[in-house]
Every structure is written in C-alpha cells, then in structure tokens.
C-alpha cells in the first residue's frame, strides 16, 4: 500500500469519526432540550395565573433580533398570598417591548411549588432559565 492511499484512508477515518462524534453531541443536545421542554411544560401545568407590576427591566437591545433576553424585577399580586418581589428572565418578542415598561402590569404564571419562579402569562414571551 503506498503512502498516498494510507494518508487518504487515515484522513477519511478521522473525518468519519469526527462526524460520528458531532452526531452524538447533537443527539445529546436534542435529548437535553426535550427534557427541559417536558420539565417546563410540567411546571407551567402546575402554575396559576396572576398579575405583576414591573419594578425594573433590563435588556440589551441588539437591533436586528426578533426576540431578546429581558431581566425583570416585579411586584407579584397573587390572590393566594401577600404581594412580594420576584425576579425573572424571559425571552421576549421585540415588538412587545413597549408593553414592558416600569410601572406597567403584566400577566404572569406562578409556580405552585416555588412561588418565586415567575413564568410569562403572555404568549409573546417564554421563560428563560437562570
């Protein structure tokens, strides 16, 4: 077997192994995403609607994105407890930023097991972990 053919086989083998590794990593990522989605769905199923007043909001607008990460500090008004402060992060469609101003009231969902977890009650936002 000549050296050129050997090099070609080695390179082809490395490319194949790299492809297999990438495929396994992508598969793991999809599996983790599915688990996170299922967990979030269970949390949302175990939540109740409430209202919150925005105390402060932070987002760094990039200009070209359709959705952006927003950090919210809110005052939660829940008929099942005394009002309390909470913080949350949502991914929000930028066309709805006008609704997220200090002092405005928004719909939220409160996690029944952990009331400081505040999920969006609006269809234009999704909960962001962390």
Mean of the pLDDT values across residues 67-78?
Answer: 92
Task: Give the whole-angstrom CA distance, residue 91 versus residue 98.
Answer: 14
Residues 74, 90: contact at Cβ < 8 Å?
Answer: no
pLDDT digits (tens, 9 = 90+) for 3-41: 778 878 888 888 888 777 777 766 666 666 666 567 766
Task: Give the whole-angstrom CA distance, residue 69 versus residue 37.
Answer: 18
Report the range out of 16-30, 73-87, 116-130 with the highest average pLDDT. Answer: 73-87
Work out the pLDDT band at 75, boundaries 50, 70, 90. very high
Work out the pLDDT band at 89, boundaries 50, 70, 90. very high
Give the torsion sign (CA, 74, 119, 43, 37): negative
* Closest by Cα among 98, 75, 93 to 85: 75
Name the residue with higher pLDDT: 46 or 124.
Answer: 124
Task: Give the whole-angstrom CA distance, residue 104 versus residue 99.
Answer: 7
Residues 6+ apart with CB under 8 A from 38: none
pTM value is 0.65
Predicted pLDDT of residue 66: 84
Name the residue with higher pLDDT: 69 or 65.
Answer: 69
């Amino acid at each position: 077997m000549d050296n050129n053919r050997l090099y070609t086989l080695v390179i082809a083998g490395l490319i194949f192994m790299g492809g297999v590794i990438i495929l396994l990593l992508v598969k793991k990522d999809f599996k983790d995403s599915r688990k996170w989605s299922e967990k979030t769905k269970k949390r949302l199923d175990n939540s109740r609607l409430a209202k919150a007043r925005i105390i402060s909001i932070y987002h760094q607008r990039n200009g070209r994105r359709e959705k952006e990460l927003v950090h919210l500090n809110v005052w939660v008004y829940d008929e099942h407890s005394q009002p309390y402060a909470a913080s949350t992060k949502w991914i929000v469609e930028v066309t709805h930023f006008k609704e997220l101003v200090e002092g405005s009231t928004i719909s939220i969902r409160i996690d029944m097991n952990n009331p400081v977890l505040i999920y969006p009650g609006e269809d234009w936002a999704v909960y962001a972990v962390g």
